[in-house]
Amino acid sequence: MVSFSCPKCCALDIVKRGKRYNKTIVKQLYRCNDCRLTFVEPDGFERMRFNKEKIVRAIHMHEDGMSLSKVQNPLWQHDNVKVTRWTISEWTKKYSVFLKSASSSGKSNNQGQNSS
């Protein structure tokens, strides 16, 4: 059973419907049995060409003080990800707030578990 609903009609009657393949990533497709919409699981990184681990790594490198050019080079050399500086800048604008809130909530959860 899936833990999310259809983005169009909010129905919970969802089944797996194959996989979506592109150049760098494979994602599970789902189909709503009510409205027949086919979609991927909502993870915040929908319609992205590269996987979220590489995007997150690029954002962290940039926010740790590396210039866009210095972030671009290791992505190309080590991960074989060729992106422009503009793309890295757009990723940072789009996801930095999301990642900061996720990391702060993760830290607060871990701190609470360690003190028990």
Half-sphere exposure of residue 111: CA atoms within 13 angstroms, side-chain side: 6
Return averaged pLDDT per consecutive 10 residues of the chain, 116 residues in all: 86 93 86 94 83 90 92 90 93 83 57 42
Residue identified by tokens 């422009």 is 84
Per-residue model confidence (pLDDT) at position 92: 92
Cross-sheet strand order for the sheet of 38-40? 14-21, 26-32, 38-40
Question: Amino acid identity of 95?
Answer: Y
Provide the sign of the torsion angle of the four alpha carbons 77, 80, 84, 87, taken in this order. Answer: negative
36: left (phi over 0), alpha (psi -120 to 50) or beta: left
Q: State the pLDDT at residue 103.
A: 65
Tell me what pLDDT residue 105 has: 64
